[in-house]
Structure 1
Amino acid sequence: MLLLALAGPLHAAATDAAGWLARVGPALRSLDYQGTLVVVADGRVDTLRVFHRVRDGREQERLVALSGPPREVIRDDGKVMCIGTGDEPVAYDLGKAGRWSAALAVSEVAGMRGYRARLAGEGRVAGHAAQQVEVIATDGWRYGYRLWLEKSSGLPLRVDLLGEGGRSVEQVAFTELDLGATPSDADLAPSAADQLMRVSRLPAPEASPPGWQVPAPPPGFRLRAARPLPGDGVHLLYSDGLASVSVYVEKGKPGLRGGATRQRGAVHARSFWLDGWQVLALGKVPAATVDRFARTVRPVGDDG
């Protein structure tokens, strides 16, 4: 049952795709809810329990895996902890990490090169009436999205990642949702005793000249961050504001030449070994996109 307090911009009627997308951010940030999600990707189905609460301006969220190895993600405003993915809990700055839904980033596509949004009918998800909104990729360098937004609030109920021909290559959807239900302190508490803490973000490229670059990335992509790696290597992060590609350049074995491609669900990777260097590009983008990054990265000042 929706909280009666929902009002104002969050409850205002939206008549076009941009209006519906504008409701996503406020809904994700300000509503209390708990429910069960399924994630369908790479031939696997994972189930998660989700708790989200906002109290006195403090946003808290906890995701708990109900299938596979025990693991969870706990978010408290600008900090997030992952438990069960390694030997020790890991905490890091939030940015756009730690959220169950890619819809927050998708909702900000207005003005982004390479995307256009449109309304796409109505439906129901987890018993809630929903408006469908499609965010279409206007070229082959990135994926599109289809969103089912809860009609009263704009909360994303389902998000599909769309590949070639509009085919769904990844799905995240609620199977059960109690919208307006406030999680308890126990629901939001991490299972580990470690405290959440901040870790430095990737430095901006201006703060740390990377030494390597992709002179002509696909349209809309630009260098967002860079950090040095041992042995004169570098990690470059390129993004169009929604899709991202990481490019790693490291010293390799002298004389080694070749390349390889890998795919896991919607994530593609392309690597090359040449002239004593190893290059790896990977991201949740089409194969041609990571191939472009891997093939064209070069030292700064090299015009060849």
Structure 2
Amino acid sequence: MAMVASRAGVSGQTVSRVVNDSPRVDPATRARVEKAMAELGYRPHRAARALRTGRTHTIGLVVTTLATVGNSRMLQATAEAAERRGYALLVVTAASSIAEAFDRLQDQGVDGAIVLNEASALTRSAESPAGLRLVVVDGASDGSASAFVSTVFVSTVSSDHAGGATEATRHLLQGEHAAVHHLAGPADSFAAAERERGWRETLQDAGIDAPQIVRGDWSAESGYAAAAALESATAVFCANDQMALGLMRALAERGSRVPEDVSVIGFDDVPDAANYRPPLTTIRQDFPALAEAAVAALIADIEHAESTPSMLIPTRLVERSSTKMSS
């Protein structure tokens, strides 16, 4: 650091401010220091910085699985959001015990953690991890999904699953279908429950009795298997795009045309959705915005002890060719 300061013609304190991304450095000086750092091959020593500041600039990400598209896209978006702020990301799985996941994170000295999607439900029965700052993604905004045994409340950031489901159901009702069926996600999923809630409330508002739901497990295989129970359906709102893909394959095999005979809408807007046959109408989740909000809330708590109110990230309808509107 002294060599960098000498080459850049600044004080060691100024170099320290640049390294720690302090706003108290004018752009020209920052550029000169960064040029000197590059010329000398200087890299901040993370372990040494942790000893000095008490922070590792590492955050944890707790997941139950990375096999689902939503979780893998959130991992990518969270890693990018953390990197932009100079934080590393450590991923742990909590397939059986979230308490063990928290223990592993604390052993690694992370400054805080983001609990992702399905793992969020596991916090309901967990002991509060002492000293570990947390943000829950897709947890109830009233705190019920973030209320630990010791009643510690943490920030929550969620997609507007219910709002997206409402938009999907209304879109199908505009096609003058007598009813809209629902291919739901797993019963223990917060996102699936919210999407089901939006579907039910929209039908109720329209004076339509909700048909019996058919439940899948997020996979295309479960969507394919669900087709047998949806034989009478003319409009199906699927809780994710993979199940919609499986359903459309089963419909094609039995000779039902999409959208002429059955309109199908998904949720997530995976990158391949536009290349389904037919291209899938779906509800787009803004994964980058969701990750950005979660990382920003966590770092605000870590660096400034600022509590962030619960946030709801909007979704939006992407209309393609798998739904048919009335003429």
TM range (shorter): under 0.3
Which of structures 1 and 2 has the bigger CA Rg?
A: 2
TM-score normalized by the length of structure 1? 0.24
Higher strand share: 1
TM-score normalized by the length of structure 2? 0.23
